Amino acid sequence: MARGLSKKVRRQQNGAALAGRALSGFNFRRKADKPVLMTTTPLNAASTTVPHWEWQYLDLMRHIWEHGDERVDRTGVGTRSIMGATIRFDLSGGAMPLLTTKRVYWKTATREMLWFLTGDTNIRQLCAQGVEIWTDWPLDRYRRETGEDISRPDFSARIVADAAFAAAWGDLGPVYGKQWVDWATYEPVQDGLFRRGPGVNQVAQVIDSLRSNPGSRRHIIEGWNVAELDAMALPPCHKTYQFHVAGGRLSCLLYQRSCDLGLGFAFNMWSLALLTRMMAQQCNLEPGEVVWTGGDVHLYLNHAALVEEQLTRRPEGGARMTILRQPESIFGYRIEDFEVTDYAPQAHIAAPVAV
């Protein structure tokens, strides 16, 4: 497909600009045909005069599609990529950053977050709940190493039915869950020998520090364990979460080193807000703001149809979430505890995932 957008998309984008979008998170000023990316005040869709927060996303998508550097990436699919972007969202009043320009399966993303918090790194529990977003990586390894051309549904069913098979083929290595709640430590014994020490539960530690020392600048959950990267199916993308307390409100900034803007972002933004809401509830704080920052933010070249379609759409309305129960700990949440209301998105847009 030729670079740039169809006339239909350009018409829609111009309409949005006329509707006063200068206030949204991104403005692109062209000087000698060079776009300059600027961030401005975070704004939600709370009032009719304020641009909908989702324009930050759509503007970023359009910018990358039109100006991103085109390259061959690890997956071989190819991307257009930029370095550095920020999207902000205010969680006040139960608002959640769920995209409205396509349906996002928030329960799938929520199940994934709850799975991270258990410390599990095997896809078995996900597959058992019908969550297949991680299945492609173990499946790819299985096909490569055995030569068996098994279908994804058959592979997933076998993972669920057969514990030994799941143990052999379903593990992703020490990914998010392991690092978040059981970061490995080692203690010297003697003569240069070490034994395993107790694992570090970063999530529990951050809850403790938020309660006992809210003004700390060290409320961090880190997934990037350098020594273990090679053992992971994929090194963490949403790698660093930093929390901040001000005026009784809990905010969180995520640094995501690599972002698939067409597919992964919707889940990552939701999960960032979800984690912040759970942490706030556990610490008796009000939800504040979420700040998403991306390093390499890209669009896969085989997402052209998604990009074209989504950029014809205009964001409208917004989702709210109620947490129906306050569990005794951050590790006690269940999927039934989350209720989403006011979510009336436009149709789902399917897109292939690059493995």
Ligand X SMILES: O=c1ccn([C@H]2C[C@H](O)[C@@H](COP(=O)(O)O)O2)c(=O)[nH]1
Ligand Y SMILES: Nc1nc(=O)c2c([nH]1)NC[C@@H]1CN(c3ccc(C(=O)N[C@@H](CCC(=O)O)C(=O)O)cc3)CN21
Q: Does 16 bind ligand Y (CB under 6 A)?
A: no
The string of DSSP codes covering 261-289 is TTTHHHHHHHHHHHHHHHHHHHTT-EEEE
Please give the residue whose beta carbon sits closest to ligand X in the complex: 264
Q: Which stretch binds ligand Y (CB under 6 A): 10-18, 128-136, 178-186, 280-288?
A: 128-136
Find out whether 217 is annotated in a ligand binding site.
Answer: yes
Give the DSSP H/E element, type plus range, for residue 146. Answer: helix 136-146
Taking the C-alpha atoms of residue 85 and residue 297, their distance in angstroms, rounded to an integer, is 7
Task: Find which of ligand X, ligand Y, none residue 304 binds, CB within 5 to 8 Å per kind.
Answer: none
Amino acid at 206: V
Tell me the per-residue interface mask from 181 to 220 with ligand X, x by CB under 6 A, - otherwise: ----------------------------------------
Site map 130..149 versus ligand Y, x via CB under 6 A:
--xxx---------------
Q: What does the CA dihedral 157, 162, 167, 169 come to, rounded to 10 degrees?
A: -40
Q: Is 260 in the site for ligand X (CB under 6 A)?
A: yes
115 contacts ligand Y (rule: CB under 6 A): no
- Span 39-68, contacts to ligand Y by CB under 6 A: none
| CB-nearer residue toward ligand X: 283 or 300 | 300
Q: Where are the beta strands (DSSP E) in the chain?
A: 26-31, 34-39, 69-71, 79-90, 95-96, 186-188, 194-196, 220-222, 238-246, 249-260, 286-300, 319-323, 338-341
Decide if residue 71 touches ligand X (CB under 6 A): no
252 is an annotated ligand-binding site residue: no
Tell me: does residue 264 bind ligand X (CB under 6 A): yes
Beta strands in 125-207 (DSSP E): 186-188, 194-196
Cα separations (Å) of 329 from 118, 204, 237, 245? 12, 9, 26, 19
Annotated binding site: 74, 217-218, 257-260, 268, 298-300, 354
Q: Which residues bind ligand X (CB under 6 A)?
A: 74, 234-235, 237-238, 258-260, 264, 268
Q: Which residues bind ligand Y (CB under 6 A)?
A: 105, 108, 132-134, 234, 260, 263-264, 266-267, 350, 353-354
